[in-house]
Amino acid sequence: MPELFHRKLERSTIGFVIAIIAAASVGGIVEIAPLFTIDETVEEAPDMRVYTPLELAGRNIYVREGCYACHSQMIRTLRDEVERYGPYSLAVESQYDRPMLWGSKRTGPDLARIGGKYSDFWHVAHLNNPRDVVPESNMPAYRWLGRTALKTEDLPLHLAAQKALGVPYTDEMVENAARDAYGQATPDTDFAAGVSERYGDATEVSAFDGVATQLTEMDALVAYLQVLGRLTDAAYRNTAATEQPADPAN
Amino acid sequence: MLANLTSSERQNALVLAVAVALAGAVMAIAGRADVLGIHGLIVALFGGVVAWLVMASFYAPEPAEDRAASYYDDPIKVGIVLAMAWAVFGMFMGVWVAAQLAWPNLAFDAAWSTFGRLRPTHTTGVIFGFGGNALIATSFHVVQRTSRARLAGQVSPWFVLLGFNLFCVLAVSGYLLGVTQSKEYAEAEWYADIWLVIVWVTYFILYVATIARRKEPHIYVANWYFMAFILVVAILHIVNNLALPVSWGLAKSYTIWPGVQDAMVQWWYGHNAVAFFLTAGFLGMLYYYLPVRAQRPIFSYRLSILSFWGITFFYMWAGSHHLHYTALPHWVQTLGMTFSVMLLVPSWASAGNALLTLNGAWHRVRDDATLRFMMAAAVFYGLSTFEGSFMAIRPVNSLSHYTDWTVGHVHAGALGWVALITFGSLYTLVPSLWKRERMYSAALVELHFWLAIAGTVIYVFAMWNSGIIQGLMWRTYTEEGALAYSFVDSLVAMYPYYIARAFGGLLFLLGALVGCYNIWMTVRAAPAAATRGADAPVVPAAVPGE
Amino acid sequence: MDFSHDTLVAISKSWGLFYMMAFFLGVCAYAFWPRNRTRFDRAKHSILDRDDTPWQR
């Protein structure tokens, strides 16, 4: 019987194709299928806010420039990582991240909790030429970011797409996306008031690149870097112990 | 090349090329305010050039011979040339980005030339450009020879080959322009992804239809690997790239997978791209070209079947070992670790099978650098799969992850296994395809071999050192219980290794250039093995290297 | 249709295992089935035949 079955399987190429799918899919199904319901296991973080349009634009610049190739955004549950970078990352912290930027390589340090650790001024100086502030750095200089105007007219479309995928942006947020992006980088204007109103008072409104008159890609990227790890404080409330590496004294 | 097409096939080719050009024009108009417009122009230009080429010999005489009596080798020849061109491009980019890590000012203060934008041009250039073209070319060759049948299409092989290269061009030019999904090894944006699906489905149908033309009930095992490669890559590509474009006029899209799901899907894809693109496909090469070159049948056919199913089955589970100690559920991490370790069994079965095939032909391995390429590839395959299983163990991974050790591991596989088996296969294939007695220069093959080995060894040792040092520095504590080193301390320790790595990569690139020259001269100048009749089926080629 | 996370995990852990074992046995049976030996031997040697034209109908 098995002989006949195999003969048939081999005769028809299609049977063989199905066998390959059967073999290959099971691993995918077993591992992936439960993850469709993973939201049930993700921690709750009622205080978590969404990215502002300016931060989202900054995130897209981070993606565009391939920063993830050298910087992770995932603090592992290891003692040395927690002491170096802060509380380990929780799944909930990247619930609005499309794509996730956990990264796979640290040529530079982890950035999951970089927000608020340095001043805006430091970030701008560092991005303009990393070696001005960290002489040993091998990071590229990103001088043109401060010279390039941020494209804001598409931002409502970006927020609408995110909303369609399930990120809780309100219609008002979508509508005002371009204005809010401008407002977040121009404190003390009417536009700025709208940002605090829609995204909360804790949202940092600042002339990120030091120039309040023009909205540049530098503003957006620094705004994004400054919010990393600060969308929720769930990680700081989490008290689970870290894991020890095999031989920490080594 | 068009001389082999009938007039109706030429019409089909023209219609396809014009359709692509029109689609490009639509993209250019819809995306005129965005980089999408530039890509539209590239697509339109690509379609236009192909249409022009078809037009140029549209009215040439039609083929008189019975085409079913000969194999269809033209697309294979073009595929080999494209593979070598991408090899030089991708490896050059690799050397450049490696040098940037040691000398950051090599970005020359431009946006397109920063590390983050160049790095995916390197990975896409070598994996898809070099590896993909080599796989398409060799799979077309192997499927015809083992099925004893001509390819099941006349235009479709060209569509697959050129369409795939259009994808590669869109991907690589996109990264330079800042178009990326930032999903590692799947960075190309939505429209390029959709195009690749069309191309890939055509590839699959063509392959299956060609196998269906065989007389022998059994399908030779190399085809199993190629089929698994084509089929599973299609599944992986589609699932991983499901995304919602921001608008039809913008290149940017957002993946449908958020956060932790995206991480799992991404590495399920990422690791299986290693499995089915960089392993299964190249094992297909190994199981055909190694026995042919050694003139010995494979040591154990049964073992090759067992390891085929083992690899197809186990690899699918292993992806989560990229996410140890992260926010991914613990049981998924453990599952990934377990199957990664089990994967060692079929992997070593394949490597052992290849080496045992050579048992009794070691004198030939000594004398023939082409065979030695394949032997070394099998050795590196064994080493890097062992290393991979080892690194998937959680405590080991806690040290190796995020460090250069991972980069070294990948290159032990990519340079030592993928590139060496490809060069070995191409050096076997090129003389037989162009009806030459042998390669233009055996000495240059020998030189290439040693450049490649030296480059790989220097690269891998540099990265082992840097990775382990980095990992240990990050977790070293002083006696007072504080972290001993700042991050910058660990970076400073890396510089010598980054320079060594760039040097190793440079040697490997030089080897590839030597290979290009040798292949070019073989096509141009090496003595013909037999005169080629204008319309008669080809005479059996002399056995290469004998 | 109530597929909670725990159900799916349980299904994965039980049926996934059975699936794997059945698959393993099937593959072994195929590879070691005595009557397949001749076919495998023929395939093994077929690629060394020095014939460079397709078979003709």
Nearest to C50 among B310, B538, B543 (CB): B543
pLDDT tens track for B236-247: 999 999 999 999
A42 in a structural domain:
no
A74 in a structural domain:
yes
Within 8 A of B298 by CB-CB distance, chain C residues are 44
The least confident of A180-189, B206-215, B218-227, B329-338 is B329-338
pLDDT lower than 70: segments of chain A = 1-11, 26-36, 38-41, 238-241, 243-250
The least confident of B84-98, B146-160, C16-30 is C16-30
The amino acid occupying position B11 is: Q
Would you say residue C2 has pLDDT above 80? no
Q: Residues C4-26: what's their mean pLDDT?
A: 78
Q: How many interface pairs between A and B have CB atoms less than 8 angstroms apart? A: 268
Whether residues B470 and B416 share a domain: the answer is yes
Q: Residues C11-38: what's their mean pLDDT?
A: 82
Query: Can you give the pLDDT at residue C1?
Result: 42
Whether residues A30 and A116 share a domain: the answer is no
Reported as a pLDDT band with limits 50, 70 and 90, residue B313 is confident
Whether residues B33 and B102 share a domain: the answer is no
Would you say residue B541 has pLDDT above 60? no
Whether residues B20 and B89 share a domain: the answer is no
Contacts of B164 (CB under 8 A, 6+ apart): B128, B132, B133, B136, B196, B199, B203
> Residues 413 to 432 of B: which have CB under 8 A from any A CB?
none
Q: What CATH number did the domain enclosing B216 receive? A: 1.20.210.10
Assigned token pair, B128: 């898809």
A180 in a structural domain:
yes
Would you say residue C14 has pLDDT above 80? no
B376 in a structural domain:
yes
Query: Can you give the pLDDT at residue C35?
Result: 85
The amino acid occupying position A66 is: G
Query: Can you give the pLDDT at residue B163?
Result: 97
A113 in a structural domain:
yes
**DSSP one-letter string for A9-60:** HHHSHHHHHHHHHHHHHHHHHHHHHHHHTGGGTSPP-TT--PPPHHHHHHHH
Contact A92, A206 (CB under 8 A): no
Within 8 A of B310 by CB-CB distance, chain C residues are 27
The amino acid occupying position B30 is: A
Query: Can you give the pLDDT at residue A135?
Result: 96
H-only helix segments in B434-529:
442-474, 487-524
A31 in a structural domain:
yes
From the list A205, A235, A250, A241, the residue with the least C-alpha distance to A223 is A205
> Residues 306 to 365 of B: which have CB under 8 A from any A CB?
309, 312-320, 322-329, 332, 335-336, 339
Whether residues A26 and A64 share a domain: the answer is no
Query: Can you give the pLDDT at residue B546?
Result: 37
Own/partner pairs, A130-135, CB within 8 angstroms, 24+ separation: A130/B104, A131/B104, A134/B488
Whether residues B198 and B222 share a domain: the answer is yes
Q: Which of helix, strand or coil describes residue B436?
A: strand
From the list B81, B59, B48, the residue with the least C-alpha distance to B5 is B59
Would you say residue B361 has pLDDT above 70? yes
Reported as a pLDDT band with limits 50, 70 and 90, residue B162 is very high
Would you say residue B440 has pLDDT above 50? yes
Whether residues A170 and A130 share a domain: the answer is yes
Torsions phi, psi of A216, nearest 5?
-115, 170
Distance CA B359, CA B505 (A): 31
> Residues 7 to 26 of C: which have CB under 8 A from any A CB?
8-9, 12, 16, 19-20, 23, 26
Query: Can you give the pLDDT at residue A39?
Result: 65
Residue of A26, A98, A147 to mutate when probing chain B, most B C-beta within 10 A: A98
Whether residues A164 and A126 share a domain: the answer is yes
Whether residues B341 and B217 share a domain: the answer is yes
Subunit contact A157:B313, Cβ cutoff 8 A: no
Distance CA B192, CA B182 (A): 14
Nearest to C47 among B220, B331, B537 (CB): B220
Whether residues A108 and A212 share a domain: the answer is yes
Reported as a pLDDT band with limits 50, 70 and 90, residue C51 is low
Q: How far is CA B442 from the centre of its chain?
A: 25
Place of tokens 């105007």: A149
Whether residues B379 and B509 share a domain: the answer is yes
Whether residues A121 and A204 share a domain: the answer is yes
Query: Can you give the pLDDT at residue B318?
Result: 83
Distance CA A218, CA A143 (A): 9
Whether residues A124 and A30 share a domain: the answer is no
Boundaries of domain holding B305: 72-524
Query: Can you give the pLDDT at residue B525?
Result: 76
Subunit contact C4:A29, Cβ cutoff 8 A: no
Contact A89, A236 (CB under 8 A): no
Within 8 A of C42 by CB-CB distance, chain A residues are none
Contacts of B206 (CB under 8 A, 6+ apart): B151, B152, B153, B156, B157, B160
Contact A159, A138 (CB under 8 A): no
Reported as a pLDDT band with limits 50, 70 and 90, residue B534 is very low
Q: What are C's interface residues with B at a Cβ cutoff of 8 A?
A: 9, 20, 23, 27-28, 30-32, 39-48, 50-57
Would you say residue B539 has pLDDT above 60? no
A44 in a structural domain:
no
Whether residues B325 and B405 share a domain: the answer is yes
Boundaries of domain holding A12: 5-36
**DSSP one-letter string for B66-129:** -GGGS---HHHHHHHHHHHHHHHHHHHHHHHHHHHHH-GGGGTT-STTSHHHHHHHHHHIIIII
Nearest to A66 among B180, B231, B491 (CB): B180
Distance CA B202, CA B140 (A): 13
Q: How many interface pairs between B and C have CB atoms less than 8 angstroms apart? A: 77
B470 in a structural domain:
yes
**DSSP one-letter string for B250-319:** -S-EEES--HHHHHHHHHHHHHHIIIIIIIIHHHHHHHHHHHHHHTS--S-HHHHHHHHHHHHHHHTTGG
The pTM (predicted TM-score) of the whole model is 0.93
Kindly state the helix (H) or strand (E) to which residue B245 belongs, with its residue range. Answer: strand B243-245
Assigned token pair, B127: 């994996």
Query: Can you give the pLDDT at residue B57?
Result: 86
Q: At what angle do helices B156-177 and B115-124 cross, to 10 degrees?
A: 170
Nearest to A41 among C3, C5, C20 (CB): C5
Distance CA C38, CA C33 (A): 10
Reported as a pLDDT band with limits 50, 70 and 90, residue B530 is low
Contacts of A4 (CB under 8 A, 6+ apart): none
A97 in a structural domain:
yes
**Which chains does A contact via 3+ CB–CB distances below 8 A?**
B, C
pLDDT tens track for B265-292: 899 899 988 889 999 999 999 999 999 9
- For chain C, first and last CA: distance in Å? 54
Which residue of chain C has the CA closest to B339? C20
Kindly state the helix (H) or strand (E) to which residue B326 belongs, with its residue range. Answer: none
Distance CA A9, CA A83 (A): 57
Nearest to A33 among C8, C19, C29 (CB): C8
Subunit contact A66:B119, Cβ cutoff 8 A: yes
Contact B185, B127 (CB under 8 A): yes
Whether residues A121 and A218 share a domain: the answer is yes
User: Other C-beta atoms within 10 Å of B438: how many?
Assistant: 21
Which residue of chain B has the CA closest to C44? B297
Q: Residues B89-112: what's their mean pLDDT?
A: 95
Distance CA B537, CA B540 (A): 9
Whether residues B11 and B152 share a domain: the answer is no
Angle at B386 between CA B382 and CA B389, to 5 degrees: 140
Whether omega for the bond prior to residue B104 falls within 30 degrees of 0, making it cis, is: no
- Shortest alpha-carbon distance between residue B24 and chain A (Å): 22
Whether residues A148 and A102 share a domain: the answer is yes
Query: Can you give the pLDDT at residue B535?
Result: 31
Subunit contact A40:C5, Cβ cutoff 8 A: yes
CA distances from B214 to A31, A111, B204, B208, B391 (A): 37, 56, 16, 10, 42
Subunit contact B301:C40, Cβ cutoff 8 A: yes
Q: At what angle do helices B369-391 and B344-358 cross, to 10 degrees?
A: 160
Whether residues B176 and B288 share a domain: the answer is yes
From the list A136, A119, A131, A148, the residue with the least C-alpha distance to A217 is A148
Strand partners, B436: B528
A181 exposed, middle or buried (CB, 10 Å; 0-12, 13-18, 19+)?
A: buried
Whether residues B409 and B508 share a domain: the answer is yes
Q: Residues B162-184: what's their mean pLDDT?
A: 96
User: Domain total for chain A?
Assistant: 2
Strand partners, A149: A216
> Looking at B12, B38, B60, which one is the last position of a domain?
B60
Reported as a pLDDT band with limits 50, 70 and 90, residue C3 is low
Q: What is the 3-state secondary structure (H, E, C) of C25-48?
A: HHHHHHHHCHHHHHHHHHHHHHCC
Of A156 and B312, more confident? A156
**DSSP one-letter string for A78-114:** BHHHHHHH-SPP-GGGGTT-SS----SB-SS---TT-
**DSSP one-letter string for B367-412:** H-HHHHHHHHHHHHHHHHHHHHHHHTSHHHHHHHTBSHHHHHHHHI
Nearest to B301 among C43, C50, C51 (CB): C43
Query: Can you give the pLDDT at residue B537?
Result: 31
Whether residues A31 and A87 share a domain: the answer is no
Kindly report the average pLDDT of chain B as a whole number.
92
Would you say residue B461 has pLDDT above 50? yes
Whether residues B86 and B7 share a domain: the answer is no
Contacts of A69 (CB under 8 A, 6+ apart): A103, A105, A107, B115, B116, B119, B120
A160 in a structural domain:
yes
Exposure b/e, B302-326, CB count within 10 A at least 16 = b: bbbbbbbbbbbbbbbbbbbbbbbbb
Distance CA B87, CA B224 (A): 26
Contacts of A82 (CB under 8 A, 6+ apart): A75, A88, A242
> Looking at B40, B60, B80, which one is the last position of a domain?
B60
Whether residues B358 and B212 share a domain: the answer is yes
Q: What are B's interface residues with C at a Cβ cutoff of 8 A?
A: 68-71, 144-146, 148-150, 215-218, 220-222, 288, 291-292, 295-298, 301-302, 305-306, 309-310, 313, 331, 537-541, 543
**Which chains does C contact via 3+ CB–CB distances below 8 A?**
A, B
Contact B504, B455 (CB under 8 A): yes
Distance CA B497, CA B482 (A): 27
Of A1 and B535, more confident? A1
Percent of chain B with pLDDT over 90: 80
Subunit contact C33:A33, Cβ cutoff 8 A: no
Distance CA B227, CA B209 (A): 12
Distance CA B104, CA B497 (A): 15
Instruction: Specify the length of chain C in residues.
Output: 57
User: Domain total for chain B?
Assistant: 2
- Shortest alpha-carbon distance between residue C27 and chain A (Å): 10
Whether residues A110 and A30 share a domain: the answer is no
Of A21 and B309, more confident? B309
Q: What CATH number did the domain enclosing A121 receive? A: 1.10.760.10
Q: Which of helix, strand or coil describes residue B483?
A: strand
Residue of B70, B142, B218, B304 to mutate when probing chain C, most C C-beta within 10 A: B218
Q: At what angle do helices A13-36 and B221-240 cross, to 10 degrees?
A: 30
Whether residues A67 and A169 share a domain: the answer is yes
